[in-house]
Structure 1
Amino acid sequence: MFQYTIGFIGTGNMGSALVRAACKGIDPQQVVVTNHTPAKAQALAKEVGCQVVLTNEEVARQSKFIMLGVKPHILPEVLRQIAPVVKECMDQGEEKVLVSMAAGVTMESMYQHLGLSQRVPMLRIMPNTPAAIGKGMTLVHPECCKPELVDEFETIMAQSGRFDRIGENLADAAGAASGCVPAFAYLFMEGLADGAVMAGVPRQKAMTYVAQAVLGAASLVLQSGQHPGALKDAVCSPGGSTIVGVSKLEEGGLRSACIQAVAGSAEKNKKLGK
């Protein structure tokens, strides 16, 4: 019988963010981690109070939900590695759920790498790093998992932020819109803060003002349900300073650059699993 509710294979930036969220949502003693660099897993475990094991097989054997937090090119080997353990446990009547966060790797491809005759319940998720502080957006592809197991997973990870269940056919595009966008937002915020510094605002204050403004704007979109264009229009007074700034952004091609950034990332997602 499994000892841990959820186990993490891989504690990189995204894996660590989800570990932190899991340890806020359930007893950290029900969370176990491993990493190819043991010291990294041990440091994270010390921080959040979870458990550490040394091998991927141990995580697979001892956990109900097995989080596969490795790069797409590494995932096939990890799946082949844990397949015998997963089969043995399932033959004994234990319930296992594989959860992959690898961009571009389809569930059908994962089943092929597992090479098991019995189909293991599987979830594919597209999270983002703000999950570490409860502000994440996690896309869940639930086609290969019973609804009650999907519900259980989302309950375990509830402290990570929002969830949305979508078809796997949208995985690459939607994953770019949620998983990649934080990096785009940081770049945008850095540029805005640089502009404030150029205008004479101290660096730290500029970062605080910009970050709070972006946070507030994003929250207003979510809570009001209004289109961002309408909210933008409400700030742009006739002949005012904001519309001048908007004009400068349009002149620099901001809107087109954003479209191309998400479209480009979505296209790259498709290639990562091949």
Structure 2
Amino acid sequence: MKIGFIGLGNMGSAILRAVAKSGQHELLFSDHNADKLAELVVLYKGKISNNQEIAAQADVVFLGIKPHLVGLVLTEVKEAVSKNPSAVWISMAAGVSLEQLAQFLPADKLVRMMPNTPVAIGQGMTTFATSKAENAQLFQELMAHSGQVKQLPEGLMDAATAIAGCGPAFVYEFIHAMTSAGVQNGLSVADSQLLASQTVLGSAQMVLETGQHPAHLRDQVTSPGGSTIAGVVAMTQAGFQAATMEAVNAALDKTRELGK
């Protein structure tokens, strides 16, 4: 299969790394950063191309460009798209709907996705929407080595973006804060970061594997009158839950704004 990538920033490169594990595909790369392209060609044995060539030749095109550039780029490749109507286009542009993409591309050949950067290490959370079952099957096969993949109704994609797409940044902020508290109390940066990171990883895995509500798992850690409940009370008083919900809602508002 011939797979093209138009735009290889942080997210596009992460997707490339996951897709490259899914089979022996011919890879075509297009990006404004020549140094990055040269590096990716060496790593993944791809071919440097341009947007028009990719639109005309690829069986699948991953569109990894900023939302405000989608119309411009797709207008530029309109003629090439008409010569290759069977190509499946997969957009990771936040907030850009399938309906908007269909103004430039065949409506039955579209997938809207939202990955997060941990796809690069096979631990990502990717959501997607599409109107065709065959598109969904192809997408899941291509993303098989990326981590968890979940199909959603398109109306929920912006909310999913605010949680899974933006969420790693919120988690990193939490790990950084935990690490700083450890350093404040005598731990080395390396030790504190290890403790915080593995605690987040293990706790998330507990939620996934047990299927229990996070509040129930929290209660299993909080002994009456103990240290943990003292910390939980302090977090509550500082507005931790409210701040987290506000962060997700702010990200959601921005995602919707970007898609306009």
Give the TM-score range, shorter chain. over 0.9
Q: What residue number does 2:47 align with? A: 52
1:231 is aligned to 217
1:13 alignment partner AA:
N
**SS at structure 2 position matched to 1:158:** coil
- Runs of 4+ in structure 1 over 2 Å off: 29-32
TM-score (norm 1): 0.91
Structure 2: 5+ residue stretches without partners = none
1:168 to 154, 159, 162: 154
User: Is residue 7 from structure 1 mapped to residue 4 from structure 2 by the alignment?
Assistant: yes
TM-score by length of structure 2 reads: 0.96
Alpha-carbon distance between aligned partners in 1 of 2:21 and 2:109, rounded to the nearest angstrom: 25
d(CA) in 1 for partners of 2:138, 2:89? 13
Question: By how many angstroms is 1:54 displaced?
Answer: 3.1
Asked if the contact 1:96/1:120 (under 8 Å) is kept, the reply is no
Quote the sequence identity (%).
Answer: 40
Shift, 1:260, TM fit: 0.4
Q: How does 1:155-234 map to 2 (within 5 A)?
A: 155-234=141-220
- Of 10, 16, 19, the residue aligned with 1:19 is 16
Shift of 1:168: 1.0
Secondary structure at the aligned position of 2:84 is classed as helix
**Residue ranges of structure 1 left out of the alignment (5+ in a row):** none
Provide the residue aligned with 2:88 in structure 1: 97
Does the Cα contact within 8 Å between 1:33 and 1:50 map onto a contact in 2? no
Contact 2:40–2:46 (Cα < 8 Å) also in 1: no
**Residue equivalent to 1:63:** 58
Please report how far the alpha carbon of residue 102 of structure 1 lies from its aligned counterpart in structure 2 after TM superposition.
0.5
2:59 is paired with a residue of what secondary structure? strand
Instruction: State the distance in 2 between where 1:149 and 1:107 align.
Output: 13
1:26 Cα deviation after fit = 1.6
Q: Residues 272 and 54 (structure 1 numbering): CA distance in 2 closer, same or farther, change over 3 Å?
A: same
State the SS of the aligned residue for 2:102: helix
Please state whether the residue corresponding to 1:159 is helix, strand or coil: coil
CA distance in 2, matches of 1:166, 1:100: 15
Residues 189-226 of structure 1: CA deviation (Å, up to 9, x unaligned): 00001001111110011001110010000111111110
| Distance of 1:50 and 1:261 partners within structure 2 | 39
- Structure 2 Cα separation of the partners of residues 207 and 201 of structure 1: 9
d(CA) in 1 for partners of 2:153, 2:203: 29
Whether the 8 Å CA contact 2:2–2:59 is kept in 1: the answer is yes
Letter in 1 for 2:26: Q
The residue that corresponds to 2:100 in the other structure is: 109
Query: How far apart, in 2, do the equivalents of 1:45 and 1:239 lie?
Result: 58
Task: Give the aligned partner of residue 126 of structure 1.
Answer: 114
Structure 2 CA distance for aligned equivalents of residues 150 and 74 of structure 1: 25
What is the aligned partner in structure 1 of residue 254 from structure 2? 268
- Secondary structure of 2:96's partner? coil
After superposition, the C-alpha distances for 1:11-68 in whole angstroms (9 at most, x for unaligned) are: 10100000001112222x5222210122212212322x23132311122222111110
> Does 1:142 pair with 2:138?
no
Cα separation, 2, equivalents of 1:33 and 1:57: 11
**Structure 1: distance between partners of 2:107 and 2:15:** 25
What's the RMSD between the two structures over aligned residues?
1.3
What one-letter code is carried by the residue in structure 2 that aligns with 1:21?
Answer: A
Give the Cα–Cα distance (whole angstroms) in 2 for the partners of residues 98 and 35 of structure 1: 17
Secondary structure class of the residue paired with 2:67 = coil
**2: distance between equivalents of 1:229 and 1:176?**
22
Give 1:152 deviation, angstroms.
1.5
